[in-house]
Structure 1
Amino acid sequence: MERKLLTLNIGRPNLHVWKGRTENSTIAKKGIEEVLLTKNGFKGDYVANREFHGGPERAVCLYPYEHYWQWEQEFNQTFRMPAFGENICAENMLEEDVYIGDTFTLGDAVIQVSQGRIPCSTISKHNHVDSLLGRIVETGYTGYFFRVLQEGIVTTSSKLTLIDRQQEKFSVLRGNQLMFHDRKNREAIEEFLEVKELAEVWRGKFLKTLESLK
């Protein structure tokens, strides 16, 4: 599996006025030609809302290109990259085809899929589509995060190349299904927790879910 980057983006927090309210967000990222990827993310890429973004296990956010086409057809409007606040966008990297723990080279860096993305309302606000967030959660087309195993330079000509796959039972999409729609499936959750590459924040959420099911 080798995929070219379609965009490479970083951003700083900015004030946005959505429906009369002023909010601080980094969703409006800008393209960049070359950047250093560190354990905590791309140099110069900042986080405004640490509940949903940032930290070593959410260092890189990818959004699959194919979803752009779907949302454009569904909502009859253009979504210009990076409409979903992603750092990188690529084709043929769908949630159903990428597994927790998948390890890729990206330029000089090495990154590993850690969790699906838990989207927030900023996505709807930024794109001026109230129902977008709900549809993203409903479909599981959230995009996903990577941790950085090896720091390095990434450029717009860098490729994502799969170098290791630890398991093929829990794709990002299946993990999203458990997170958003199947939180009473004790057996599947227990299996999911056996995936050692799963991000700790997700592990904690599912452990709490198991406690509540007792």
Structure 2
Amino acid sequence: MKTILLTGKAATLAGSDRPSGIAKSPVEAPLMLGPEGLAGDQQADRRVHGGPEKAVHHYPRDHYPVWRDEIGAHPLLDEPGAFGENISTTGLTEADVAVGDTFRLGRAVLQVSQGRQPCWKLNHRFGIADMARCVQGSGRTGWYYRVVEPGIVAPGDALVLIDRSAPDWTIRRLWHVMYVERLNPDDLSRMASLDVLAEGWRRHARRRLESGQVEDWSRRLEGSS
């Protein structure tokens, strides 16, 4: 499965006075993939973006035609990078990929760490007031990798699955636990003890088990975090 690799610099987000690195463009030459992501890629708000557990964002190109059907023609959907992704592929979706899945890409090795939690910046990026909420509700969120082995990667390198440690825990299933059947104690208990899952997601599971309550995502989806 061949990849398109994308990076971007932080810049002021359209319709906002806040900076963002969500705008990504395809790269044309090999570059280093390290523990914090692709060389030259930036995240503006390091409190909630980037870091070792969100080093690389993968968004399936398979979803673009579905979005066109739902929101209409949009120039961002004409090329990869609309959702701020670093990796774009066709033939791999949230239903296929599980947390802990390990892939070789060029000379690097990546491991799926968590799903993507959409934020308000997608609203500004698309010029659609509830785009982040639509992405969250659809389950078409994409996912993140941690970098297990740094190395040089290049556009067109194949993404090759080399190991699966928790195949039952697809990104789609994690999304279902987080956003659909949100207080299922059995699934939350399993999720809380899933050691290949990013600590932030396990912490959400533990908090729900302890409190019996679900987080209020409205600030993240509508514009303040």
Structure holding more strand per residue = 1
RMSD: 1.4
Residue deviations 1:39-70 (CA, integer Å, cap 9, x gap): 11111111112343211011010001111110
Residue deviations 1:177-206 (CA, integer Å, cap 9, x gap): 111222211111111223210001111121
Q: Name 2:127's counterpart in structure 1.
A: 128
> Where does 1:28-39 land on structure 2 (aligned, <5 Å)?
28-33=23-28, 34-39=30-35
Match of 1:58 among 46, 54, 57: 54
Point out where structure 1 has 5 or more consecutive residues left out of the alignment.
none
Secondary structure of 2:59 counterpart: strand
Match of 2:2 among 4, 9, 13: 4
Inter-partner Cα distance in structure 1 for 2:192 and 2:95: 19
Shift of 1:110: 0.2
Q: Name 1:27's counterpart in structure 2.
A: 22
Identical amino acids, percent of aligned pairs: 37
Residue deviations 1:143-188 (CA, integer Å, cap 9, x gap): 0000000001111121110000112221001101111222211111
8 Å contact from structure 2 (residues 118, 133) kept in 1? no
TM-score, reference length from structure 2: 0.89
Match of 2:12 among 12, 15, 28: 15
TM-score, reference length from structure 1: 0.93
Task: Point out the more displaced range, 155-164 or 200-209.
Answer: 200-209
Point out where structure 2 has 5 or more consecutive residues left out of the alignment.
214-225
8 Å contact from structure 1 (residues 27, 85) kept in 2? yes
Aligned length: 209
Q: Name 1:155's counterpart in structure 2.
A: 154
Inter-partner Cα distance in structure 1 for 2:13 and 2:124: 9
